[in-house]
Amino acid sequence: MLDAGKIRFSENHTDDYGIFIDSQEILYSKKSKYQLVEVLKTNTWGNLLLLDRNIMTSERDEFIYHETITQVAMHSSDAKRILVIGGGDGGTIRELLKHERVEKVVLVEIDGEVIEVCKEYFPSIACSFNDPRLDLRVEDGIRFVKECNEKFDIVIIDSSDPFGPAEGLFRVEFYNACKSLLNEGGILVCQAGNAFMTDESVIAFSNLSKVFKNTEYFLAPILTYGGLWGFVYASDEKQSQKDFNEDYYNSTGIEFKYYSKDIHKGIFALPPFLIKKLNNEKD
């Protein structure tokens, strides 16, 4: 809820647990064609983007999410053409376009309002929309993938949680359609939800395991999302560790705030409870 008196935002993760953030000001609030888009000004997190009252990104910790969802695949392949589904805040394309070898990034975002709001209120995130290598499509990602006849080296599904416009992005049918767009040696990466509190991680991992020969789960601490956040790396040919290109990592000169060669190795180490959860084993 948003309390206009205190300007206190709260988001429930379960019926009896969630987080709250005190806001100084509601900078933007408007219903788009698809969802309620809001921006809060906060002391701790900087500007905070909400979609249907769910936290999407903050100025302070966004780099953890955006570096994680992009750089693992970028450093275990020689990708030059990348498709991003979702990601209207611009953080994912910013990370991809740091790489000089990238020739083309196609970003498909269903809600153009999100893009425009982020350009205005999150300029450090939405800073790559004018890059000539970007092909921006404001349309439905599921339809785009179904009708697309291009091929890509990486497909990144940078979606919101599996409800509303993003619900279909977690289904086997959509993953199969994405796989059909990959070149040989291609990689699919997606965000997979809260690893501790929800079943989204199990759903994404299980469904991708039905589509790809190699499916790997990895983690990052996204504080505004409530803690451990899951991602899935999927490919028929590539493996995150075997194909990690340390020479490329050392040669780019790209400075990261979260990702590193040690992080690349470490984020795939999973605690026993999560391994059991992903394998549908009971404690």
Does the annotation place 3 within a ligand binding site? no
Of 16, 22, 158, 243, catalytic: 158
Does the annotation place 109 within a ligand binding site? yes
Closest CA to 239 of 265, 278, 262, 258: 265
Q: How many CB atoms lie within 10 A of CB 148?
A: 17
Q: Contact 57/122 with Cβ under 8 angstroms?
A: yes
CA 240, 243, 247, 252 torsion: positive or negative? negative
Does the annotation place 160 within a ligand binding site? yes
What is the C-alpha to C-alpha distance for residues 57 and 276, in angstroms, rounded to an integer? 29
Does the annotation place 35 within a ligand binding site? yes
Does the annotation place 199 within a ligand binding site? no
Does the annotation place 235 within a ligand binding site? no
**Three-class DSSP category at 204:** helix
Does the annotation place 99 within a ligand binding site? no
Does the annotation place 111 within a ligand binding site? no
DSSP string of 16-84, one letter each residue: TEEEEEEEEEEEEEEE-SSSEEEEEEETTTEEEEEETTEEEEETTTHHHHHHHHHHHHHTTS---EEEE
Q: Is-catalytic flag, 262? A: no
What is the C-alpha to C-alpha distance for residues 79 and 136, in angstroms, rounded to an integer? 19
What is the C-alpha to C-alpha distance for residues 105 and 73, in angstroms, rounded to an integer? 14
Does the annotation place 89 within a ligand binding site? yes
Q: Contact 154/83 with Cβ under 8 angstroms?
A: yes
Does the annotation place 158 within a ligand binding site? yes
Q: Which residues make up each annotated binding site for spermidine? A: 66, 89, 158-161
* Residues assigned a catalytic role: 158
Q: Which residues make up each annotated binding site for S-methyl-5'-thioadenosine? A: 35, 109, 140-141, 165
Q: Which residues make up each annotated binding site? A: 35, 66, 89, 109, 140-141, 158-161, 165
